[in-house]
Amino acid sequence: MLREFLLSADIEVLLPHPDRARATNSEPGLTLIDTFVLTPAISVCIVKDSRGEIFSLPLIQDDETFRRAVVGDGAAQALLNVGEFEPSSRFSLRLWRSQPLVDERALGVDQTEESIIIGELAIAKWFSRINPSANSSLPRIDALEKAKFSSMPSPWLALEWREPETDIPMLVAYVSDYQQNTRDGWEWAVEELENYLDGKKSLDSSTEFAAEIAGLISGMHSAFYSASHRRAEHRDVEVWLREFSGTLDLALSSTPGDIGTRFGEFESRIRNWVAGLDISNLPELTLIHGDLHVGQILRSETGSYSIIDFDGNPVEHNSSTLSLEPLAKDLAGLLQSLDHVGRVVAKRRDDKFQQEISQWINQTQEKFQNSYTFDITKGDEDPFAQRDLLLLFQFQQEFREFLYAKHHLPQWMYVPDAALPALIERI
């Protein structure tokens, strides 16, 4: 019955957030590859669409049909009761902690995938588009655990599935501690800026957090570096430049209307700048967070910080996210997100306080840079000293913001549109 249902099913309807703009470009009809029964009514199904892309779907039988399991159906809490698998199963479980819980509720923040809070103690994240890069969070978490990095949610379990042809594990679901009484940076950092504009805080006090999170990120990078690192080679630079050009091409072709026109007016200037780059001072490569922005940094009611979501960039779906990368990629993402906080507030304030917002952005970025202490080899090889490489990744981050807005959150399009000119002024 399930197999017959999938033969005519539309993958868009079965993915999380079916109301969002997305580009699967696949025809209706899914092939069932594997299944794991969570409860008599709920199964985790591995399916392939008409283009050969593999998806993981928690499906529930509802009367005589099937649908995606949603909050309250019990799929997430059933993960906490998963037992041992048969040796022949392509599913496997990595278990750090086991505790049955009841009650589910939605996380209630914007995400590409779907996260569900269980019993107010744990949070489960379902991964829909599974591929070799989808297990990239686990090596990062292992490295942080080994280094006793405590400023992150403790893991509970990871459900993986191995693709038959490659035997590569792909992450299907991940459960970790739920950080109660915390807010992410899209709330608390925005509040800091608004407090400054409203006269409740000074410029210095409203930007002090940047120094604190710089220390946190330094510790994370130190743990990653301890786990694995190597010196970059010239072929790595060639890959970065190709990826930059490809991301620019895709973003330009995907950005519509007046915003796309404004973006296009910068194209020749960007390409001329990149063509003249000489990245001969090769950086060290290591594990990185992969999608570092203020939204990944939680702040508690007592003012302590923690880092979440080590899954990599939601607009990158390739095995490169498993490789070692320059720390400048993480730093670029964080720096641009500080800029984006300003763009969010500017829109809320009808583009008033432009000078004050620019001052705030500049000071948070400067404080972050001055307080980042993890220095691999000193001197010119410090990530911030490699100005051109850092700026390259800052530009690329904005290109990805256009793509994220196009495919996941159209109302975000104004942010890279407003942020890009500030980077253009630097080339």
According to DSSP H, which parts of 198-233 are helical? 203-206, 209-227
Q: Is residue 3 part of a domain?
A: no
Based on the fold, state whether residues 287 and 397 are members of the same structural domain. yes
Based on the fold, state whether residues 211 and 319 are members of the same structural domain. yes
Based on the fold, state whether residues 281 and 189 are members of the same structural domain. yes
How far apart CA 94 and CA 82 sit, in angstroms, is: 11
Please say which residue of 129, 162, 177 terminates a domain: 177
| Cβ neighbours for 183, distance < 8 A, ≥ 6 positions apart | 298, 299
Based on the fold, state whether residues 243 and 151 are members of the same structural domain. no
The reported pLDDT for the residue numbered 20 is: 53
Contact of 228 with 324, CB cutoff 8 Å:
yes
Based on the fold, state whether residues 143 and 284 are members of the same structural domain. no
The reported pLDDT for the residue numbered 238 is: 96
Q: Is residue 202 part of a domain?
A: yes
Structural domain total, the chain: 2
The reported pLDDT for the residue numbered 337 is: 99
Based on the fold, state whether residues 225 and 158 are members of the same structural domain. no
Based on the fold, state whether residues 120 and 18 are members of the same structural domain. yes
Q: Is residue 1 part of a domain?
A: no
The reported pLDDT for the residue numbered 379 is: 44
Based on the fold, state whether residues 135 and 224 are members of the same structural domain. no
Q: Which stretches in the chain have pLDDT values below 50? A: 21-22, 317-321, 377-380
How far apart CA 121 and CA 42 sit, in angstroms, is: 22
Sign of CA dihedral 48, 132, 412, 245: negative
Specify the pTM: 0.89
The reported pLDDT for the residue numbered 332 is: 98
Domain span at residue 157 reads 9-177
The reported pLDDT for the residue numbered 107 is: 85
- DSSP secondary structure letter of residue 386: -
Give residue 425's Cα distance to chain centre.
27
Q: Is residue 75 part of a domain?
A: yes
Give the whole-number percent of the chain exceeding pLDDT 70.
92
Q: Is residue 189 part of a domain?
A: yes
Q: Is residue 84 part of a domain?
A: yes
Based on the fold, state whether residues 284 and 366 are members of the same structural domain. yes
CATH of the domain at 373: 3.90.1200.10
Q: Is residue 226 part of a domain?
A: yes
Q: Is residue 2 part of a domain?
A: no
Based on the fold, state whether residues 166 and 208 are members of the same structural domain. no
Based on the fold, state whether residues 85 and 165 are members of the same structural domain. yes
Closest CA to 139 of 311, 382, 4: 311
Closest CA to 374 of 313, 304, 278, 288: 288
The reported pLDDT for the residue numbered 375 is: 61
Helices (H) and strands (E) in the chain, counts: 14, 16
Phi then psi dihedrals of residue 350, to 5 deg: 55, 40
Please say which residue of 160, 177, 194 terminates a domain: 177
Based on the fold, state whether residues 149 and 189 are members of the same structural domain. no
Please say which residue of 143, 159, 177 terminates a domain: 177
